[in-house]
Structure 1
Amino acid sequence: MEDNNKINLTIENYTGEKPIVVVYREGIASKVLDQKAPEKIEIAGVLSIPLDWLEKRVDTINQAEAFILVERDKYAITLTINESDPYKKGTITGSAELSELFTKFGINNPNVGWTPAKLGQFIRLNRAAFEDKEICMKLVSALKNFKANAQSQIEKQHDPSGSRAEVYRQTVESNLPKSFTVKIPIFKGPEKTTFDVEFDHYLTDGEVFLQLVSPGAKELTDQYCDKTIDAVLDKIRGVAPDIAIIEA
């Protein structure tokens, strides 16, 4: 009978200086090492991406274990699947992104403040946003001369206790137009929208900063998002009628 436990070794050029140790082990490697947790789905893209995903994969999920979260203030729709399974849970998020130029202007962004000179330089470099180039250059000139005009008014004050903030407010109101008009995309894409932009201001360490505010752009943004989000949700209801839709 052949001995299956017999091991044959061939060793070349062995001089006998050190002993050779051979370790022979038997057994089956644990299958746990070969098992990996499934990779979670985390996808982000354009506003319609949850709908696009469902149109292709709705038959692969349990609709009772999925839901749609709508966050209108963030212009976002998020589809969550396998909500009760931490290993297979996934999210597909679609959002409407503001255009690069709209974001750079800092319109309706309370965290963006411009010094007048910097804003003037920015507008000069982006004069394509203005349909009337002459109005654009007049605005650039007013912004670049803002500090000098304000300082001149401060020096003319007879009352030493006069408020510098009040002088800056008066300079904003007298030297800058109440508003200016731009034509730029609000959201990413080729479509441009015309709207008015107003100035607001605040002081920090004696330096005046301007903020750009546009109620018209805010209204257009909300209308666009509500209309687009509602259209996507209506189609999702048709593709996956049993998925819960939650408004945040």
Structure 2
Amino acid sequence: METLLAGRVALVTGASQGIGEAIARALYREGAKVAFLSRDAGKLDTLVAELGGGALAVAGDVTKADSLAAAIGRVESELGPIDIAVNNAGGLRSSTGELFRAFEDVPDEDWQATWELNVMSAVRVARAVLPGMTNRGWGRIINISSESAVQPDPVAVEYGTSKGALNTLTKALAKAYAGRNVLVNVVSPAYVDTPILRELLAQQEGAETLSPDALAAHFLSAFRPNIGLGRPCRPEDVAEAVVFLASERASFITGTNLRVDGGSVTTL
């Protein structure tokens, strides 16, 4: 597929592993210059060393405005103005270490930290890149959400609602900037088999007797039984969807939620 991304500058947050790494690698393969942004400078340096010219490791914390601003400034100084921004950094924040908690067990500070990570980080990235995109008349913002935004779980409510807010932000920005050829979309995976998820599963009660593959299979059947394809999503599945939305092939698509969920969401 001809994506016409050669020479474009892309920023991917949370790019040190899992979905973010797969997205950044995929954009790089399509010819874009790619900034890998994460707090883990060591992992980033290793990744970028493998790829060579046009790949940039940028250490930064998306939950801290000053850190994020400095990181974006470095990207634009070294690679050029950002054409494609992928807000992938996200997840749950817990002051207790337990992530999948009932609603009544989540304190205010964990709600705030989770929303800071999933929503405000995307707000800040968009606010930083939109002026340049609108001036140039071309831009792509792609937010990584979750099926939990529209098909929420009874636990980790703070996560699902933050992703719902991210979807709303996406639609609003798409409406606000479509006339200036800045397209804003969201990609919503379901159960992506990543190192982070496997680590979380290994912490669950009874996990010590199961292999990583057995744990992944159990999570699939117990918590995501509607995935008709019968396997977890791979990071590369999400990455291919992002490449498409970033490309000229998607030049008439904005404000859309592209679900990469194997059929898990039960409504259209």
Q: Larger strand proportion, structure 1 or 2?
A: 1
Question: What TM-score, normalized to structure 2?
Answer: 0.23
Higher relative contact order (CA 8 A, sep 6+): 1
Question: What TM-score, normalized to structure 1?
Answer: 0.24
Between structure 1 and structure 2, the one with the greater Rg is 1
